[in-house]
Structure 1
Amino acid sequence: MNPHVLAILLYSLGLGTTMTFASSHWLLAWMGLEINTLAITPLMTQQHHPRAVEATTKYFLIQATAAAMILFASTTNAWLTGEWNINNMSNPTTNMIIISALALKIGLAPAHFWLPETLQGLNLLTGLILSTWQKLAPFTLIIQVAQNTSPALLTFLGISSALVGGWGGLNQTQLRKVMAYSSIAHMGWMMIIIHYTPQLTLIALTAYIFMTSAAFLTLKTLNTTKINTLSMAWSKNPALTTMTPLIMLSLGGLPPMTGFTPKWLIIQELAKQDLPLTTTIMALTALLSLYFYLRLCYTATLTINPNTTNATTPWRTKTTQNFLPLTLTIIITLGLLPMTPTILTLTT
């Protein structure tokens, strides 16, 4: 892709998200979401193969449907209240429609079916943008609307997403689909607590972005998209292969990695809200996700592909890739747990 075109598209991605962040008017927020969608569409089709075009078409249709629902609900709310203010969502019907549309946008269950198939058709860098940056603008709107939304709806979305994310990833062989179901499960954890403590949602979203970035950049550096090829990673980059299981365990939420922080705080807050059943279900769904992360750890470190090469030199070949983003995200993914008290102080 032409560097100037790429720069314009990335600038448009930033502009769309910033517009939604800064808006208090539904029409301006809707325009930001549309700019985001239009900017990422060419990035998704840059590989020019049928699978990428199919993924882009699915993504565009889903995002257009969700945008139409948001426009319809915000117009209905303006007709009923006389205001376009995002914080003035007093009508429960329009609230429910907007939450449903935003859930469709970010791939929450039961509106998650498009996400694994779309992510499977993209390269790893575009998949990284889709899994992280594209979640920011819709989540900003969800946080603003959630306080006026029924807790039962948010709990349903959270539990169903955590369950689907855990069950769906169990039998996958494609790493991009595993990351898609991981995304669905993490979105469920954020939704379950958003009505009670939005600050914890922001902590969980930030941790998710860093952990997912580390995972995608690791897979890109190892040049692998399937579980069976992950067993060959040791011959390409032994040091990074050592870090890969730790990144996956952090995504699963095991201490002492950073991923334990949001799950621990969310379960603690749910218990304080006197929701023992919800707390138990969410803790059990974490075990489902942890199982398929352990599968990846086992494949990467404890198995050797039958078709392994006899040469011992592939890992010595030089690469032109920039390792700074990968290094930073790995450090943050593995080492922020001791900073939990400071993070809580800054966000509460």
Structure 2
Amino acid sequence: MNPQAKLISTMSLLLGTTITISSNHWAMAWTGLEINTLAILPLISKPHHPRAIEATTKYFLTQAAASTLLLFSSTTNALFTGQWDITQLTHPISCLLLTTAISIKLGLVPFHFWFPEVLQGSSLTTGLLLATVMKFPPITLILLTSPSLNHTLLFIMAISSAALGGWMGLNQTQIRKVLAFSSISHLGWMTIIIIYNPKLTLITFYLYCLMTAAIFLTLKTTKILKLSSMMTAWTKIPSLSATLMLALLSLAGLPPLTGFLPKWLIIQELTKQEMTSAATIIALLSLLGLFFYLRLAYCATITLPPNSSNYMKQWQTNKPVNTLTTTLIALTITLLPLSPMTYTIP
């Protein structure tokens, strides 16, 4: 890809995200989302492969439909109430349309079908952007409008996302699809608590981005795309493969790793809100995700294929590990022990 075109796409991505998260008017928020969508399209189609072109087309059509719904929602609200302010969404039809639009943009169940396919057709760097940066503007909008959204619909989609994200990830052999369904499952955790504690949703999203970035950068360094290729990853950079197992277990939410913190706080908050049944259901559904994370960790560090002496030559790697990757992995593993154990949700 032309360096100038890559720079323009990256800067437009940052600009669109900044416009959306800092706007107070629906027109500006919509403009930022459109800039974001148009900026990421060249990055998805960069590999010049039929699968990449297919992923670009799917992403464009899905995001265009979601943006149209969002614009229609805000226009309907302005027509009936005269308000263009993001926090003043009060009309019932507008609230329902906005809930649907943001769910499509995030990839919540039942609007999740596009996300695994788009992630599979993208490179690992673009996949990281799709799984983290591109979800920040919709998460911001859902935080600002959380009191107005359809609570019943959000709750159903949250439980469905946690269930389907774990269930569909069980039989995947492509790492990017596994991470896509992992993202859908984590979105279920964020959505179920947003009505009661929006700040906790933001904390969960930040920690999810941290853990996902660590795993994507590790996969990029070791050039792992399939489950079968994880078995020989230890021969390239043994230390990084060992920490990859801990990063995967952190994303699964096992204590005492960082990923346990958001799940612990969400279950605690749901219990405080007297939603013990919901807390129990979503905790049990997380076991589905735990299974395929354990399978990935098992393949990465414990399973060894029939090997020869040729594998041993790869121990002397000439490729240094990026400082950013090691920093993110360290935070992914150690952030929970470093966090204050007396943390209370305000």
Alignment partner of 2:281: what SS?
helix
Deviations 1:20-54 (A, max 9, x none): 01101001000000000000000111110101000
CA contact (8 A) 1:99 1:145 kept: no
Alignment partner of 1:162: what SS?
helix
Q: Does 1:273 align with 2:266?
A: no
| CA 1:343–1:236: 2 relative to 1, 3 Å | farther
Paired residues for 1:96-115 under 5 Å: 96-115=96-115
Counterpart residue identity of residue 196, structure 1: Y
Partner of 1:323: 322
Counterpart residue identity of residue 53, structure 1: I
CA contact (8 A) 2:99 2:150 kept: no
Partner of 2:219: 219
Question: 5+ residue gaps in structure 2?
Answer: none
| CA 1:307–1:104: 2 relative to 1, 3 Å | farther
Deviations 1:251-292 (A, max 9, x none): 000011100000000000001100111111100011110000
CA contact (8 A) 2:217 2:325 kept: yes
CA contact (8 A) 1:228 1:305 kept: no
Counterpart residue identity of residue 19, structure 1: I
Q: Does 1:249 align with 2:232?
A: no
Q: Does 1:284 align with 2:284?
A: yes
* Counterpart-to-counterpart distance in 2, 1:341 and 1:27: 41
Q: TM-score, normalised by structure 1?
A: 0.96
Partner of 2:116: 116
Partner of 1:235: 235
CA contact (8 A) 2:98 2:149 kept: no
Of all paired residues, the percent bearing the same amino acid is 52
Deviations 1:98-132 (A, max 9, x none): 11111101111111011111110111000000000
* Counterpart-to-counterpart distance in 2, 1:144 and 1:344: 24
Paired residues for 1:1-348 under 5 Å: 1-306=1-306, 310-319=310-319, 323-341=322-340, 344=343, 348=346
**How far has the Cα of 1:149 moved from its partner?**
2.0
**How far has the Cα of 1:342 moved from its partner?**
8.1
**How far has the Cα of 1:339 moved from its partner?**
3.9
Alignment partner of 1:232: what SS?
helix
Q: TM-score, normalised by structure 2?
A: 0.97
Task: Judge which range, 327-336 or 252-261, deviates more.
Answer: 327-336
**How far has the Cα of 1:317 moved from its partner?**
2.9
CA contact (8 A) 1:76 1:94 kept: yes
Counterpart residue identity of residue 335, structure 1: T
Task: Judge which range, 225-234 or 299-308, deviates more.
Answer: 299-308
Alignment partner of 1:118: what SS?
helix
Counterpart residue identity of residue 331, structure 1: A
Query: Considering only aligned residues, what root-mean-square deviation do their CA atoms show, in Å?
Result: 1.5
Deviations 1:201-235 (A, max 9, x none): 01100000000001101111110100011000111
* Counterpart-to-counterpart distance in 2, 1:47 and 1:63: 21
* Runs of 4 or more above 4 Å deviation: 342-345
**How far has the Cα of 1:310 moved from its partner?**
2.9
* Counterpart-to-counterpart distance in 1, 2:327 and 2:135: 21
Question: 5+ residue gaps in structure 1?
Answer: none
Alignment partner of 2:87: what SS?
coil
Aligned pair count?
Answer: 346
